[in-house]
Structure 1
């Protein structure tokens, strides 16, 4: 069994406190040790293979970052923290183009890191990515050339959302901005109340029918605004703070909300998973699950990884438990990807696990990258695309 020092809030698996993005923020004076579950042993039902792997810069290194690739039209778009953005062929992993968004500085032409952190998003013929320096880059998808370089209200660590004629970005200071898709000019902004103590994460906004924008806040509330004017339609609480300390009461919503069949689903750290009727904002059900990772909602089943790295399958209608998989406890597990009849997750030690989506039992595993994974895998057809902390991008399949 492995032991690790606990972070200030039990983090790598939850992210870091606001303003402290390095994974070296371990507390050596803490006497509390947490047990990381051993790698599960089981007889695999099938083997997986790596269709290709490719290096995209230096990755995110020691920093907590949920940078993950995006896919469109047979191309994977990926980035590293320093500023490299690369387009890769989905079929072969071959580099189609790459650009460097870091800048030269000083007489020795040293490179100033771009601190890419919010992205990657593809929309129509553009690639969107935000930075910790409070800039939004828009690249032409055919060659990576810069179409826009826009200053925004603060650092961006969540993926931008692009819909119709607007770009929506959320800054860590709680500002939601709607920007013109052609010029980058601000159309409207809304302020989300931000507590003094928050986690190092942010919820990406979603849009509904080109009429509404829904986003979670660090204050544990879910917010619905009008798409055109940014007027608040409703605001409801997801987190229910408990405990005596500020850390116990953290209730950030860092995962992206999900809209499915007229219902908005949102989950908060330390607290609650809630289904809201979108028209009224009223809660349909509440369940005691906490997480900062994105989750999956289908017509019948919700799949999620909680903050203790337990994977759950819940009934969509009434949140009743279908199965749970507890064998990856404290292994810093990503959110799930759905691939055919399987659920795929990766962990902080670089293992990739395949589970039967009906039972939650393990059916395959592979040690893929020793640097480990933080960002969620994405599914493209029968392939799973993962980006490791060292910048390596993998396409794997059964």
Structure 2
């Protein structure tokens, strides 16, 4: 029997061939109240630039930023490209089915995966092609080099020609008794595709699908399969030659993609990805306590518990600040030097469900569970 563990389900579902368990239900018990937000004493400010809206988001959405646009999607299968400057709609498409994963885009092609396990690729608002996937997908596709890369829940990786849907290669990994139904890691590095494979990161030749290197992000320990579950979760972050990320409920660390070797890792039990810059890596643990480590060597820089149990998103490091969203629709801006909150604004009334993403000009976009798309900037 194959078993999958997910933090997106609300209950345990027992199926003939799979068991899906929510991340929350792994631990059980009553949930303590989130920490109340404290009054800010700093002089920092954050501005809401514009808001737009799609339908509700009930799946692991990633916002795709490219050039001067963002591409988003909702659960119903609507995919929308928006101008970063003002939120103006560039195009809108409907794929005809509810979504399980998305969206990936290089600015020209956009890709999503439906609940019926179909990969759908769109160009300028028109569906170009569809391909059936053999396994469920929860990780947003990666579109790069006129190719579409898809990572399935079983952590197999598939490559397709972006223009015509021709399958180029498939890289499967040995079956595990326990799989994590959670967005995994998929990121480009120069001429290498870096993917999460269980607790490891693997460098893959994007043209042939052959393995170039493997390195452990975490070394799972435990007496049973659940305790040893330490799959890499997204988003991964590239900082120069380093790829930094998280292994589920296990560790945070950085690897050298040039050498294919671990630089450092630190124990930290969490389930969402990290943010990073050349100076620091920031991650949120299972209790929403934020920790910063020095990017080059993993030295601990600071820890903040002012957002305990506020169900934080993955952080985003922009300049001298760290952006992170919470379950009440607040976006928080922290000082990278101290971890102290400098500013906050309520982007919407529903939980922020995407990791913040940014363009070169500092515009940051997030999406709420109710479909609110919000662009903001710190001063």
Q: TM-score range by the shorter chain?
A: 0.7 to 0.9
1:173 and 2:174 matched: no
Q: 1:52 aligns with which of 44, 47, 50?
A: 50
Q: 1:83 to 1:277 in 2, by over 3 A?
A: closer
Aligned to 2:87: 93
In the alignment, is the contact (CA less than 8 A) between 1:159 and 1:204 conserved in 2?
no
In the alignment, is the contact (CA less than 8 A) between 2:218 and 2:265 conserved in 1?
no
In the alignment, is the contact (CA less than 8 A) between 1:66 and 1:376 conserved in 2?
no
Q: Give distance in 2, aligned partners of 1:20 and 1:78.
A: 27
Aligned pairs for 1:200-279 within 5 A: 200-210=181-191, 212-217=192-197, 219-279=198-258
1:22, CA displacement in angstroms? 8.0
1:376, CA displacement in angstroms? 0.5
Unaligned runs of 5+ in 2: none
Aligned pairs for 1:28-107 within 5 A: 30-60=28-58, 65-102=59-96
1:234, CA displacement in angstroms? 2.5
1:279, CA displacement in angstroms? 4.7
Q: Give distance in 2, aligned partners of 1:226 and 1:329.
A: 41
TM superposition score normalised by structure 1: 0.83
For this pair of structures, how many residues does the alignment match? 370
TM superposition score normalised by structure 2: 0.86
1:34, CA displacement in angstroms? 3.5
Q: 1:38 to 1:15 in 2, by over 3 A?
A: farther
Aligned to 2:348: 369
Unaligned runs of 5+ in 1: 1-7, 103-113
Q: What's the secondary structure of 1:91's corresponding residue?
A: coil
1:56, CA displacement in angstroms? 0.4
Runs of 4+ aligned residues of structure 1 deviating over 6 Å after TM superposition are: 12-19
Q: 1:22 to 1:221 in 2, by over 3 A?
A: closer
1:21, CA displacement in angstroms? 8.6
Aligned to 2:274: 295
1:190 and 2:146 matched: no
Q: Give distance in 2, aligned partners of 1:21 and 1:163.
A: 33
Q: What's the secondary structure of 1:229's corresponding residue?
A: coil
1:223, CA displacement in angstroms? 1.7
Q: Give distance in 2, aligned partners of 1:16 and 1:302.
A: 33
Q: Give distance in 1, aligned partners of 2:330 and 2:349.
A: 8
1:158, CA displacement in angstroms? 1.2
Q: 1:22 to 1:304 in 2, by over 3 A?
A: closer
Q: What's the secondary structure of 2:234's corresponding residue?
A: coil
Aligned to 2:319: 340
Q: Give distance in 2, aligned partners of 1:95 and 1:330.
A: 35
Q: What's the secondary structure of 1:198's corresponding residue?
A: strand
1:333, CA displacement in angstroms? 0.3
Q: Give distance in 1, aligned partners of 2:316 and 2:12.
A: 23
Q: Give distance in 1, aligned partners of 2:48 and 2:364.
A: 10
Aligned to 1:390: 370
Q: 2:120 aligns with which of 122, 133, 137?
A: 137
Q: Give distance in 2, aligned partners of 1:138 and 1:21.
A: 30
Q: Which has the higher strand share?
A: 2
Q: What's the secondary structure of 2:178's corresponding residue?
A: coil
Q: Give distance in 1, aligned partners of 2:151 and 2:371.
A: 25
Aligned to 2:180: 199
